[in-house]
Structure formats: C-alpha cells, structure tokens
Structure 1
Amino acid sequence: MSQICAILFDKDGTLFDFEATWGGWAQRVVTRLGGGDAALAGRLAGAIRFDLAQGRFDPSSPVIAGTSEEVVRLLAAELPGHDFDALVDDLDRAAQEAPLVEAVPLGECLSELRARGLRLGLCTNDSEASARAHLRAAGVEELFERIFGYDSGHGAKPEPGPLLAFAAGLGVAPECVAMVGDSRHDLRAARAAGMKAVAVLTGPARAEDLADLADVILPDIGGLACWIGGGAV
C-alpha cells in the first residue's frame, strides 16, 4: 500500500463544471455550424447528444469523455463537403475561447495540494493547446508539472498511456498517483495504469454510474486534501 504523492486531474467536469462551461459552448457551436438552418443545427446537436432546448448533454454524449477528433467525426457526418482537419481546428479554437466555470476556487485548492508536497498533472481528451489555454485563463497553469492532451503523443483515456507517462516523467510509481475524474473513461484509465481511481461529481455522471470503478467518490476536488490527509491508500 502506498501513500499518494502525486495527483493527475481530468479537466472538464473535474477542474471545471461541465454543464456550466460546455452547455453554452455546444449551443453556440451547433448554431454557428448550422448557418441559420434550424434543422441542421438540430441534427448537429443530436449527433453529439446535446439537447438544444434544455441546454444539457445526455450522460452518454461523446463530448463528455471523447477526444476532439471523435466529436468532429460525428459533426462531420452532418456536414458533407466540410474539410475534417479544418473542422478540428475550428472546434479547437472555439474550445479555447469557452467561458470557464471553476468547479471550486482552483487557485486556492491546487495551491493547498502543492503546499502539502503533492505533484500535480493534467490528463484530458481535449487537445493540449486547449488544456493549456484553459489552465492559463484560470491562472493555474504553472501549478501543473505535466499537461497531456489526446494529441500529446501518449494516447487518450481510457487507455493508460498518458497516465503512465505522467508517473514515469515524475519518477514515481503508478500506485502512488491518484487519477481524479468525473467519467468512466477516467476511472478505467486509472485502473489500467494501477493508480488510485478518484471520482468527482462535477460532471454529468452520477455516483451510481462510477461506483464500481472508483476507490472513492467525492463531491468535488475540494475534498482531496482531506481524503489524502486522512491517509488514503
């Protein structure tokens, strides 16, 4: 049994409240791509399982845990003639400009964890550029030693590649790392990498959706210091 010495965070639904941040983004994106065609905007919303009327994602939406390219493939099926790479770049730029809603006051929370000697990293299925832009906008980029996107060269969750790269880069054993996320992709990746699987409820998933994969379920990342301080193993 090993004491936690490092924490690897998911981004959306973990550091940032998922619906509050990405609901408005999705409405803007499908409306813009629809080009004034309400029926097309509706099909685009349906492709990513987003309810335009309610402004909410279905819990099964690929936007929640999929990579940017996976989301673009679904949208591109409704946009014949659009260049795929151009759509990827378009959505990546839109994501970088998304208005962020922090799940908790991030500067305070993450600084406390750093002050306890914990080393921090980020692993997201968003692009690395978007991840860095979001952390920079929140004023916390410098608190992270490693930042991985789906395009950083180590694969994407639920595969364990980026998680193992994080541990190897720090020179720590995977069992000394807690992977914190709001989706089953995050927790499956943690299990595959041999890390502690910590679930938070600031994304669309409910506790019962995550319980079979999680070592612990917290309301949000604000509970991490107490959990680790209590001798989490």
Structure 2
Amino acid sequence: MIKGILFDKDGTLFDFNATWGAFTETLLLSEVGGDLARVQQLADRLGYDLANKVFFPGSIVIAETVEVVAGHILPLLPETDKASLIGRMNGLAAQVPQIEAAPLVPFVGGLKARGLRIGVCTNDAEAPARSHLGRAGVEEAFDFIAGYDSGHGAKPAPGPLLAFARAVDLDPAHCIMVGDSLHDLHAGRAAGMRPVGVLTGPAGAEELGTVAEVVLDSIADLTDWVDEQNA
C-alpha cells in the first residue's frame, strides 16, 4: 500500500531543461562578463550544450548539490571564491521561472484528496526550493520539504528520505521516491522506498529502468499508477 510520496524537484515536479537551460547560460555569462570563450569552457565543464540549451546526460548539474557544482567550476573562476559563487547561484536560482511538468495545483490536490502524505527532497538548497514551490502555489500542500542544506544530508544518501518517513510517521516501505535521476532512485532503494522514474529530466528510460520499479513519462501519469497499486 502506497501511503507517502516523496518527490525530487528539478526534472520531476518541474521540467529540467525547460527550467534550467536558460538559467545556466545566464549564470555563466554573468560570471565571466560575457566572455563567450570562457562561457564555452564553463558549459563544457558542466555538461551543458550551449547551442541547443540542454544538458547532456550525465551532467553534474542534474543531480548534485549547488556546493558540488560550484566546486566543479571554481577552478575556471579564479577571480571569485566558493562561498560568493554559491550565494550568487542560489540568489539567481530562487528567481528562475519554473516550468511545471504537469499542472501542479490540481495534481497535488488530487494526491492530498486521496489521503497521501507528500514531500519534496531536492539537492537544491531549501530556500530556493520553497520559493519555487510557493510561486507554483503548492508549498503549503507539502508535508515535508528538504534541500541539501536542511540537515538531513543529500541524495543519493537516504538521510532526507528517512527524515520524510519520520516526519509523516510512515514506514519507508509504504512510500515511493519519484525522481528523474539515478541519484533519486538509488536514494529510494537505500531508504527502503519503491523508486519511480520520470522522463522530464535528461536521463532516458533505459538508464532509469536499471533501478526504477517503473518509469513514467511524467508525474501526470503518477496518480493513475498509484491508484492501480493501491486497488
């Protein structure tokens, strides 16, 4: 019986490339003062295709924390320090318009109407995550929201997933972890949750299918699948 659903944010609740493609280019341009050669170096470092404004599968940006991503490009930005870079990244990220993978207000409302406990576990920072969910009109509907900096650790470690289960008083075996990356799915397995993949991030069905119990096109298909499992 599925009683709780924990969602990744980027690539799951929100379409990854549609949301973060333009942001990444803007960030890189701002960091190097419009120097296109350096922008290309940074894009290559991040696994970002500037021409098509999409992330390559395996890009470090897909599943890692902002601290890891900042540390990855810091050697190419000798004029700054890590703390300042992270601050600018979080500040910009909080303002990015999020492209919903499915209309979130009715989707989340449908889950709550079924009596399900729901949460968000992201490797983004908590403050930008709450900002994004708030602007989508669904922040208050979630029983639990955690970022990498919320004190529970970061995926693929199971800490934040187990924190969700404790917060909503559920056995992890009665919960599913829904995400678009192997980090999400491995975390789900490690926490004893059922992992569900979605294709609204850069990873394909074949990759996600190596870990996921099921791979759906998007969260739009999740409610029917949960109903089938609980029938």
Cα distance in 2 for partners of 1:181, 1:53 equals 27
Matched, 1:146 2:144: yes
1:79-103 Cα deviation digits (max 9, x unpaired): 1131210110100011101111000
Q: Which amino acid aligns with 1:187?
A: L
**SS of structure 1 residue aligned to 2:118:** strand
1:112-191 → structure 2 map (5 Å cutoff) = 112-191=110-189
Q: Which amino acid aligns with 1:203?
A: G
Q: Which amino acid aligns with 2:121?
A: C
Other-structure match for 1:21 = 19
Report the TM-score when normalising by structure 1.
0.97
Report the TM-score when normalising by structure 2.
0.98
Other-structure match for 2:3 = 5
Q: CA deviation at 1:232?
A: 4.9
**SS of structure 1 residue aligned to 2:166:** helix
1:199-218 → structure 2 map (5 Å cutoff) = 199-218=197-216
Q: CA deviation at 1:34?
A: 1.5
Cα distance in 2 for partners of 1:70, 1:232 equals 38
1:92-118 Cα deviation digits (max 9, x unpaired): 011101111000000011100100000
Percent identity (aligned): 51
Q: CA deviation at 1:231?
A: 2.3
Q: Which amino acid aligns with 2:3?
A: C
Matched, 1:58 2:52: no
Q: Which amino acid aligns with 1:181?
A: G
**Hey, which bits of structure 1, 4+ residues long, moved more than 4 A?**
none
Cα distance in 1 for partners of 2:101, 2:164 equals 23
**SS of structure 1 residue aligned to 2:61:** helix
Q: Which amino acid aligns with 1:28?
A: T
Cα distance in 2 for partners of 1:24, 1:197 equals 29
Higher mean C-alpha displacement, 84-93 vs 74-83: 74-83
The unaligned stretches of length 5 or more in structure 2 are none
2:39 to 35, 41, 50: 41
Q: Which amino acid aligns with 2:222?
A: L
Is the 1:34–1:44 Cα contact (8 Å) retained in structure 2?
no
Cα distance in 2 for partners of 1:152, 1:186 equals 17
The unaligned stretches of length 5 or more in structure 1 are none
Cα distance in 1 for partners of 2:201, 2:36 equals 28
**SS of structure 1 residue aligned to 2:62:** helix
Other-structure match for 1:76 = 74
Other-structure match for 2:87 = 89
Q: CA deviation at 1:197?
A: 0.4
Q: Which amino acid aligns with 1:90?
A: R
RMSD over equivalenced CA pairs, Å: 1.0
Q: Which amino acid aligns with 1:193?
A: A
Cα distance in 2 for partners of 1:51, 1:226 equals 35
Cα distance in 2 for partners of 1:69, 1:86 equals 11
Is the 1:72–1:87 Cα contact (8 Å) retained in structure 2?
yes
